[in-house]
Structures are given as C-alpha cells and as structure tokens.
Amino acid sequence: MKVIHLEFYKLRHKHLFLMIILFLLVEIIWAFMATNMSISRNPEIARWETLILMLSTMNGLFLPILSAICVSRICDMEHKGNTWKLLLTVSVKRGQLYAAKYICACLVMLVICILQVFSISVFGIIKGFEEPVPFLLLAQFLMGTVLTNMVIIALQQWVSMALKNQAFALTLGMIGGFIGLTADLFPLVVRRFFVWSYYTGLSSIKQNYVNEQMQFIIQDLSTLLPLMAVLIMAGIVIYLAGSIHISRKEV
C-alpha cells in the first residue's frame, strides 16, 4: 500500500487528473451531442440503449489514447528522474514498483469509467427517457469497459517501462484508438485479436440493421463470459510478461 500511495504522491504536480478530466469531458460532450442529434432526427430511439451504445463506440477511440497518456505519465517519472537505482537501494523491488504503477493507472481509469456511468444516468434523466435507469445494463457496460482498460493498461505499461521515449507508447495508444473506432468493420475472427475492439465487443448493447432499420440487441452477460475469460487470461499473460521483462532489465 505504501508503494501505491507513493505513486499517487508523485503525481501531485503532474496535472494528470486535470488532463484526463478535460479529455473525458470532450468525449462525453461529443457522445451526448451525437446522441442528441440522432434522437432529434428519430425520436423513437430516445432510449438508454442508444446512449450506452454511443459511449461504447466513443470509448474505442478515446480510452486507448487516455490510457496511453495516463500510463505514460505514471511511468515517465522514473525515466526522466532516473530514479530506478534510487528505488532499488531502498529495498523496493522492481516487481512491486511495476505492480504499484499498474494498480495506480487502473484506479485512475476506474474513476473515469464510473464518471461515464454517472454522466449516462444524468443525461438520460434530463432527456426524460421513459424507462427507469437500467442499472444492470450500466453495470455490464462498466464491467466490460474496466476489463478492457486493464488489459490495455498492461500492454501500455510494458511499452512505457521498457522504452524511455514515451512517443512510442503514445503512438501505440493512438493506433489502438483508431482500431477501437473501426473494429466493428473488421471480420469477427480478426476483431478478436485486437484488444481495443472489446470496448464494443463487451458492451451490453449491440446494434443491427434490418430492412434499413436500426435495432438494439441486449447482450446477455452469460454469453460474454467466455470472451471475458479469454481477455482476462490475455491480460494476465501481458502483465506477467511485462513485469518479468522489466524486472530482468538492466538499469
């Protein structure tokens, strides 16, 4: 816990939280404006499903970039300050430091996801959606988003810790954002190999067009459990590979 607290303490002058909040506001405003325009054209889609689906799609673009920024800021402190040897001299193992940075990044992104769920609820209430707040759908949306974030953070941290130049990590985040936005255009078999596609893949809502009419499909959680299990295993493998690599790397 002390190592995790230290990571948050080191962020106090990095303006990370202000940066991610502004980034999140851009995403939410964009998603809500697009949803509002769609509802004004087709009042029959004034439903929670429309809003959840829109934000899931936007997450494919924004959250990979936001995760890259967050992880890069957390990991770059050791590269710029050249504090690796200093930390090792005070009996802080590199595996512990790696875990602390990972937990720190996951907690920051968890707050972002919770704020998204809260904003969806507020927007739907303000718009006067007829149905009550769908807590089960929102919980499933939160679960899928958080799980995808954790795997992406593991990948981003491996790159950020292994390379001093954070431009590579940020570039990976931007590439991931592009893939996440366009993933639904890929064949299903191809899409499964890109972790950034799981923002929509694990979303509680999917869309389908029948006779040029958009239909919403609620994905049952039980059907997504095997996919979640595969994603969890991939995240564990990526995290362990990154941790072992950094622990054995010369400083």
pLDDT at 5: 74
pLDDT at 76: 78
pLDDT, mean of residues 64-89: 76
Query: Which residue blocks in 184-220 are alpha helix, DSSP H?
Result: 188-191, 198-201
> By the 8 A CB rule, do 44 and 1 touch?
no
pLDDT bucket at 238, cuts 50 / 70 / 90: very high
Q: Which two tokens stand for residue 87?
A: 């930390």
Query: Which residue blocks in the chain are alpha helix, DSSP H?
Result: 2-10, 16-41, 48-81, 84-89, 94-127, 135-162, 167-182, 188-191, 198-201, 221-248
- The partner residues of 213 in beta bridges, in order of sequence, read 210
Provide the percentage of residues in the chain whose pLDDT is more than 90.
38
Q: Which two tokens stand for residue 137?
A: 């759908």
> By the 8 A CB rule, do 221 and 138 touch?
no
Angle at 192 between CA 241 and CA 246, to 5 degrees: 10
Q: How far is CA 12 from CA 7, 30, 41, 142, 173, in A?
A: 9, 29, 45, 27, 24
pLDDT, mean of residues 235-251: 86
> By the 8 A CB rule, do 94 and 182 touch?
no
Residue-wise pLDDT for 120-171, tens only, equals 999 888 888 888 888 999 999 999 999 999 999 999 999 998 888 888 999 9
Q: Which two tokens stand for residue 36?
A: 């509002």
Q: 49-54: long-range contacts (C-beta < 8 A, 24 or more apart)?
A: 49/137, 49/205, 49/216, 49/218, 50/216, 51/120, 51/123, 51/124, 52/120, 52/134, 52/137, 52/138, 52/141, 52/203, 52/204, 52/205, 53/203, 53/205, 53/206, 53/207, 53/216
pLDDT at 221: 81
The torsion defined by the Cα of 20, 202, 152 and 233, in degrees rounded to 10, comes to 150
Gap between the Cα atoms of 203 and 19, Å rounded: 26
